[in-house]
Amino acid sequence: MLNNYFRYAKVGGGQHGEVYLCHKLDSKLPPDHPEYRHVAMKSVKRDNPRAERLKQLRKPRIPHSAHTPMVDKLNTTEAKIRKEIAIMKKCRHPHVVRLYEVIDDRLRDKIYMVMEYLAGGEVKWRNDDNEPLLTVEQTRRIMRDAVLGLEYLHYQGIIHRDIKPANLLWTEDRRQVKIGDFGVSHFSYAQRLAAAGKDGDKDPHDPILLDDSDLTRRAGTPSFLAPEVVYEHTHSPSSPSESSIGIYAVASSSTVASVRPRPPITKAIDIWALGVTLYCLLFGRTPFFADPSLPSSEWSLYNSICNNDWEPLPTMGFDRIPTGGRYPPDDDSEGSMVMDLLVRFLEKDVTQRITLDEVKRSPWLLHGLLEPEKWLEVTSPT
């Protein structure tokens, strides 16, 4: 029992804490009242000895500077959870998991985040044989919800940085999907201003959100990282190492930099990850993967993301709808609409990648809506 919450089942956990299913108790309300609800409570201990030891081992041996960025000064479990809280406090949308309350328990030296509980669990997308579990129509519904949630986050200046099926959560009735897990998310003040104009400047901001140096650190799930996040693995088009050593050779950082500067890390990394997610839901596997014959799988995976092309399977979804290959002959087919969308999602050049507004207006996403123009209007974050 904590405050007015009865904690009775552990539903998840990790390095930084545990998640419990709880009841919110209120003697004044009947059990069927909306406020008498299930919630998820994330419990985080301020001082994580294991994480601190790992951090000390990984810390580069550089001289101390008075100009150390805030992200390094506050790179602790408590700082990370407070950043996650500050980001979640900004969010109130039907397709984003909501934060209800924060309990700061000084006695137990813990922070508790009371959040919306999504009883349907994460989106399951493949079976043990790496075959898709969802029909193409189910995938379309999931993608609509994910696009709306992500569009809202970007409008608020939030880059999620870890979009993937496991962070898309079903409501209990499985009619709706919401984006969750903001543990590595980033708030960009510049992006918020660009999206909201002068109104964005009126938002109250927690100082912990106003340091952009955290965006330079790699974060997220390897298979869903955009090419610009692992740009050092990109081959120079004229690199001699590529022709002499093979496709998995890596051009040196100086070689790549001399050809083309590293692209900035922007909200486009979420759009790439959403494209990888779409591919996963349709085909039961990721579009880029490591060469099992090479010693370093992560190194090989990043090379694949940066330099290799993707290929579709002959059919997509549990209902095995034909894709027509990478370049379908029938422009009006379901497969053709999906291939066109994936090509634009998985564009390695960030300046050419599709935008969320273009995704919303794509024929495949709008297919089946009775009033697509009205849907576009009522779902606009502005």
Half-sphere exposure of 284 (CA within 13 A, CB side): 18
Q: Which of 145, 162, 211, 214 is catalytic?
A: 162
Q: According to the model, what pLDDT value does residue 82 have?
A: 86
What DSSP state is assigned to residue 2?
Answer: B
The verdict on residue 244 lying in a domain is no
Residue 245, C-beta contacts closer than 8 angstroms, at least 6 positions apart: none
Which residue range is the domain that position 296 belongs to? Answer: 118-198+209-234+262-381
The verdict on residue 285 lying in a domain is yes
Last residue of a domain, one of 62, 87, 117: 117
Same domain for 96 and 131, yes or no, is no
Q: According to the model, what pLDDT value does residue 284 have?
A: 97
Q: Give a three-class secondary structure readout of 123-174.
A: CCCECCCCCECCCHHHHHHHHHHHHHHHHHHHHCCEECCCCCHHHEEECCCC
pTM of the complete model: 0.83
Q: What angle is formed at CA 191 by the lines to CA 84 and CA 211, rounded to 5 degrees?
A: 50
Same domain for 111 and 143, yes or no, is no
The verdict on residue 239 lying in a domain is no
Q: According to the model, what pLDDT value does residue 239 have?
A: 40
Same domain for 82 and 124, yes or no, is no
Same domain for 13 and 94, yes or no, is yes
Query: Quick one: tokens of 180?
Result: 């969750």
Residue 202 marked ligand-binding: no
Q: According to the model, what pLDDT value does residue 257 have?
A: 41
Same domain for 34 and 134, yes or no, is no
Same domain for 97 and 161, yes or no, is no
Count Cβ atoms within 10 A of the Cβ of residue 16 and give its class: 0-12 exposed, 13-18 middle, 19 or more buried: middle
The verdict on residue 377 lying in a domain is yes
The verdict on residue 56 lying in a domain is no
Same domain for 126 and 97, yes or no, is no
What DSSP state is assigned to residue 293?
Answer: T
Same domain for 161 and 277, yes or no, is yes
Last residue of a domain, one of 85, 100, 117: 117
Is residue 162 among the annotated active site residues? Answer: yes
Same domain for 166 and 39, yes or no, is no
266 closest CA partner among 356, 136, 326: 356
Same domain for 222 and 77, yes or no, is no
pLDDT along the chain (382 residues), means of 10: 83 77 76 72 76 62 49 62 91 95 88 93 94 97 98 95 96 95 87 68 60 75 95 65 37 46 90 98 96 83 94 96 90 92 96 96 95 95 85
Query: Quick one: tokens of 7?
Result: 């904690």
The verdict on residue 314 lying in a domain is yes
What DSSP state is assigned to residue 92?
Answer: -
Q: What is the C-alpha to C-alpha distance for residues 145 and 66, in angstroms, rounded to an integer?
A: 45
Q: How many domains does the chain have?
A: 2
Supply the CATH number for residue 41's domain: 3.30.200.20
Q: What is the C-alpha to C-alpha distance for residues 340 and 115, in angstroms, rounded to an integer?
A: 37
337 closest CA partner among 159, 143, 85: 143
Supply the CATH number for residue 278's domain: 1.10.510.10
SS3 60: coil
Same domain for 357 and 297, yes or no, is yes
